[in-house]
């Protein structure tokens, strides 16, 4: 696994020494699991009356939150063990803080590790989807499962957090369009085409390119997502995959949790040449709060930690304990720099300049990170960021677009494309074996 970014992921299955050390490198960038104490959250300041009025009309809809994975790893989905109706300081998300942060809608990520492949990945993803359904069932006064923009608005009007589902990585469907369809029927509103490793039909930003973007089967996946009304998520994918998906998609695409590469040079961020294509497509970049994607200094630190990890692998081949000890020493001598709320606003400024105000949203990655942005420590803190934008001169209507109106527009547009396509476009029955002449694992099909 390559580790040029700074999101945490904690596998629940044994993985290779290589994967473990890659995970250790992520930890140095503040991204692997809640294993270190977090800085205390900034005291919540009163929300200014003007901003409060905006958020009453346009509460935050966030593109990416990993609470389901945290519930899996910490409590095996037991909401009695971790009752999110009560304060849960070990998490970044609970119902009280969602309300304090003026959150009206949330795409819950149903991430599973790339170490899981095939049936194991599909099963784990279904378990994650089930966890979202169970959370909504368990807390009916707080959450409502929603699939369309109209349903989101009805849930918000009822005082609930509209809950949507995002599949994080094409490995979750095991190169099967039928599996994609079934996950959509269970409520999946978007799928990120890759995670940190390539899939046989699409290249990741953090892996060696294999198909140079999307394969023919990958293009068919995008077309089927358009037919279903499922959003195509381009966070984690390579620039070539981004460009191919934008070319193929008839509906607006999303970046559920990414920042601007011109501001912080991380491969997980969106290059300007792609940002310039977003207005014509109608899509949205949902700015994330991952420190290594926000701060250039943190991005550089992440690259150096990855290089140190590779050096330790070469020095201590097969000795995970020695490699980890060496990385711990390096990390103690090279602490990760902090990212700031103002730097997050800088990314928003840049995306507004290049793509326009209509193409910005928020995708925090809360409970998918451990190293946090100063001032954006948990789901109660969105008003602090929106207040910073107000101080920078963003109009109330601009803030409303960023908080929720832009993503609702994108959802409606995708729904309209699906409505147009479905009367004549039948469900795809094409396979990767027929289209790309490879198996679901990417091996050549035997003649």
Residue 345 burial by Cβ neighbours in a 10 Å radius (0-12, 13-18, 19+): buried
Mind spelling out the 3-state secondary structure of the chain? CCCCCCCCCCCCCCCCHHHHHHHHHHHHCCCCCCCCCCCCCCCCCCCCHHHHHHHHHCCEEEEEECHHHHHHHHHCCCCCCCCCCCCCCCCCCCHHHHHHCCEEEEEEECCCCCCCCHHHHHHHHHHHHHHHHHHHHHCCCCEEECCCHHHHHHHHHCCCEEEEEEEECHHHHCCCHHHHHHHHHCCEEEEECCCCCCECCECECCCCCCCCCECHHHHHHHHHHHHHCCEEECCCECHHHHHHHHHHCCCCCEECCCCECCCCCCCCCECHHHHCCHHHHCCEEEECCCHHHHCHHHHHHHHHHHHHHHHHHHHCCCCHHHHHHHHHHHHHHCCCCCCEHHHHHHHHHHHHHHCCHHHEEECCCECCCCCCEECECCCCCHHHHHHHHHHCCCCHHHHHHHHHHHHHHHHHHHHHHHHHHCCCCCCCCCCHHHHHCECCCCCECCC
Is 257 a residue of the active site?
Answer: yes
CA–CA dist 382, 373 (Å, integer):
12
User: Of the listed 94, 168, 219, 346, which one is catalytic?
Assistant: 168
Is 301 a residue of the active site?
Answer: no
Q: Which residue(s) pair with 270 in the sheet?
A: 260
Is 347 a residue of the active site?
Answer: no
Is 365 a residue of the active site?
Answer: yes
Is 171 a residue of the active site?
Answer: no
User: Of the listed 5, 171, 184, 195, which one is catalytic?
Assistant: 195
List CB contacts of 187: < 8 A, sequence separation 6 or more. 129, 132, 133, 145, 147, 164, 165
CA–CA dist 438, 246 (Å, integer):
24
User: Of the listed 257, 347, 350, 359, which one is catalytic?
Assistant: 257
Is 236 a residue of the active site?
Answer: yes
User: Of the listed 7, 62, 64, 224, which one is catalytic?
Assistant: 64
User: Of the listed 365, 367, 377, 436, which one is catalytic?
Assistant: 365
User: Of the listed 7, 66, 70, 115, which one is catalytic?
Assistant: 66
User: Of the listed 236, 301, 350, 359, which one is catalytic?
Assistant: 236
Q: Are 191 and 225 in contact (CB under 8 A)?
A: yes
Q: Known catalytic residues?
A: 64, 66, 168, 195, 236, 257, 365
């Amino acid at each position: 696994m390559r580790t040029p970014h700074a999101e945490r992921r904690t596998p629940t299955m044994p993985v290779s020494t290589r994967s473990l050390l890659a995970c250790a490198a992520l930890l140095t960038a503040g991204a692997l699991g809640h294993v270190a104490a977090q800085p205390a959250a900034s005291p919540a300041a009163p929300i200014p009356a003007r901003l409060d009025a905006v958020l009453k009309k346009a509460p935050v809809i966030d593109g990416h939150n990993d609470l389901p994975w945290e519930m899996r790893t910490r409590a095996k989905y037991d909401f009695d063990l971790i009752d999110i109706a009560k304060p849960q300081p070990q998490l970044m998300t609970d119902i009280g803080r969602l309300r304090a942060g003026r959150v009206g809608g949330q795409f819950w990520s149903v991430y599973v590790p790339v170490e899981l492949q095939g049936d194991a990945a599909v099963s784990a993803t279904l378990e994650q989807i089930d966890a979202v359904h169970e959370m909504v069932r368990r807390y009916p006064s707080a959450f409502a499962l929603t699939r369309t923009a109209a349903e989101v608005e009805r849930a918000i009007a009822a005082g609930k957090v509209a809950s949507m589902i995002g599949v994080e990585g094409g490995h979750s469907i095991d190169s099967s369009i039928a599996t994609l369809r079934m996950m959509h029927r269970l409520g999946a509103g978007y799928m990120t085409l890759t995670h940190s490793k390539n899939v046989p039909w699409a290249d990741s930003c953090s892996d060696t390119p294999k198909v140079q973007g999307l394969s023919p089967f990958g293009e068919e996946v995008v077309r089927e997502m358009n037919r279903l009304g499922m959003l195509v998520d381009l966070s984690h994918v390579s620039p070539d995959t981004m460009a191919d998906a934008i070319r193929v998609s008839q509906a607006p695409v999303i970046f559920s949790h990414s920042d601007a590469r011109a501001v912080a040079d991380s491969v997980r961020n969106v290059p300007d040449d792609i940002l310039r294509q977003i207005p014509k497509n109608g899509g949205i970049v949902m700015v994330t709060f991952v420190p290594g994607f926000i701060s250039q200094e943190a991005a550089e630190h992440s690259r150096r930690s990855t290089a140190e990890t590779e050096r330790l692998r070469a020095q201590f081949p097969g000795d995970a304990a020695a490699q980890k000890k060496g990385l711990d020493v390096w990390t103690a001598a090279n602490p990760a720099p902090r990212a700031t709320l103002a730097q997050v606003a800088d990314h928003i400024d840049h995306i507004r300049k290049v793509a326009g105000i209509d193409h910005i949203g928020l995708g925090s990655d809360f409970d998918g990170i451990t190293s946090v942005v100063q001032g954006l420590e948990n789901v109660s803190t969105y008003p602090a960021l929106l207040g910073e934008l107000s101080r920078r001169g963003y109009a109330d209507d601009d803030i409303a677009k960023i908080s929720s109106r832009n993503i609702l527009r994108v959802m409606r547009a995708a729904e309209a494309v699906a409505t147009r396509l479905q009367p004549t476009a039948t469900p795809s029955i094409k396979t990767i074996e027929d289209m790309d002449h490879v198996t679901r694992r990417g091996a050549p099909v035997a003649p």
